[in-house]
Amino acid sequence: MKKIGLAVLSLIICSGCVSKTDKKDLLPNSYGRMGSLAVVIENDLWKGKVGDVVRDIFAAEAIGLPQVEPVFSILQMPSSAFTGYTKNYRNALIIKKGENVTFGISEDKNASPQKLVYVIDTTEAKIIENLKAQQKKIIETFKENDVKESWGRFRGTPYEKSDVSETFNIDMLLTSLYETKRKEDNFMWLQKEIKEGSQNILIYELPKGFIQYKDSAAVGEIIRMRDSIGFSFIPGRLENTHMITEEAYAPYVFDAILDNKPTIETRGTWEVKGDFMAGPFLNYIIHDDINNRQLVLEGFVFAPSVEKRNFMLELEAILRSVRIRK
């Protein structure tokens, strides 16, 4: 009897472990377009100074795009509307006046993947102070969650060719919709046709130290590098035309980390010299000591007359999935 009792107890404990492990798998899928944000806030706060600050921060102009588009597309709702299916929104910012002062981030509470950010304070002034102090962290939280959602979608239609991995000694979440547009020694151009135009990925190598990390002259060097690649490999539609970095505006350059490696991130717009073609680009230069090189990953979009933010978000998710093999 003791043996049976122990067996039953072990089964109960084991079942509990399985339930805990699989809890996330039992959650419904979250919903919401890429780059969208639900702001759960009462109407009086939304129409006042708190709402103004929320719009200034989260609906600000996204950088590196050729036309004005917001960082997030905002859907505002009062707390009474944030129930049932609506609670499964992928990214939600919950703002309240209350005595239980809170700044917190909840993951996968009602659905998966989901990030809920709570900003609760006693006065409007303190809510605004908190929003301004935490804005960078909040934006990064929601963007990371969009990347996570994209990775799940990419795994459903994987890119099954081995040419990228074998050529550059990397793994990256690509979809089967990408085709090889051009391949040379240490250079690849992948393209996905879309209704509005195309999404494009460039992968190539530079000698180690070619672009100096945190060097004040990095912007000029990056422009020269990109223009050289465009001249050699990215022709325009017309004869004797090629891609360059847009001459009218300097790109934005940031420090970043990809695959736990120091990286230079550049965002800006490209154009074709001698033709009316242009669009946004995102470029990462990864300092890869393992392979004694700098690995360059770039995504760019050609989609005239339509918004391009979400196309770039998808490309960003692909590039940020890179893992360099040892």
What DSSP assignment string belongs to 141-184?
HHHHHHHHHHHHHHHHSB---SHHHHHHSEE---BTT-EEEEEE
The pLDDT assigned to 22 comes to 56
The CB density around residue 81, as the number of other CB atoms within 10 Å, is 13
Type of residue numbered 107: E
The pLDDT assigned to 23 comes to 59
Judged against a pLDDT cut of 90, whether residue 257 lies above it is answered with yes
Judged against a pLDDT cut of 90, whether residue 34 lies above it is answered with yes
- Give domain 159-324's CATH architecture: 3-Layer(aba) Sandwich (3.40)
Q: Is 95 in contact with 54 (CB distance < 8 Å)?
A: yes
C-alpha to C-alpha distance for 98 and 153, rounded to whole angstroms: 38
The pLDDT assigned to 225 comes to 96
Q: Where are the domains of the chain?
A: 24-155, 159-324
Around 241, how many Cα atoms within 13 Å sit in the side-chain half-sphere?
12
User: Which residues, including other chains, have CB under 8 Å from residue 83's CB and lie 6 or more apart?
Assistant: none
Judged against a pLDDT cut of 50, whether residue 21 lies above it is answered with no
The pLDDT assigned to 14 comes to 41
The pLDDT assigned to 24 comes to 63
Strands (DSSP E) contained in the chain are 36-40, 73-77, 91-97, 102-107, 115-121, 170-171, 179-184, 187-194, 197-207, 242-245, 252-258, 261-273, 278-288, 293-302, 323-324
How much of the chain exceeds pLDDT 70, in percent?
91
pLDDT digits (tens, 9 = 90+) for 162-191: 789 999 999 999 988 999 999 998 999 999
CA dihedral 314, 319, 320, 323 (to 10 degrees): 140
Q: Work out the pLDDT band at 16, boundaries 50, 70, 90.
A: very low
Q: Mean pLDDT across the stretch 92-111? A: 95
Q: For the chain, give the mean pLDDT.
A: 90
Which of 39-48, 60-69, 147-156, 212-221 bottoms out in mean pLDDT, i.e. has the lowest? 212-221
Judged against a pLDDT cut of 80, whether residue 2 lies above it is answered with no
Type of residue numbered 243: M
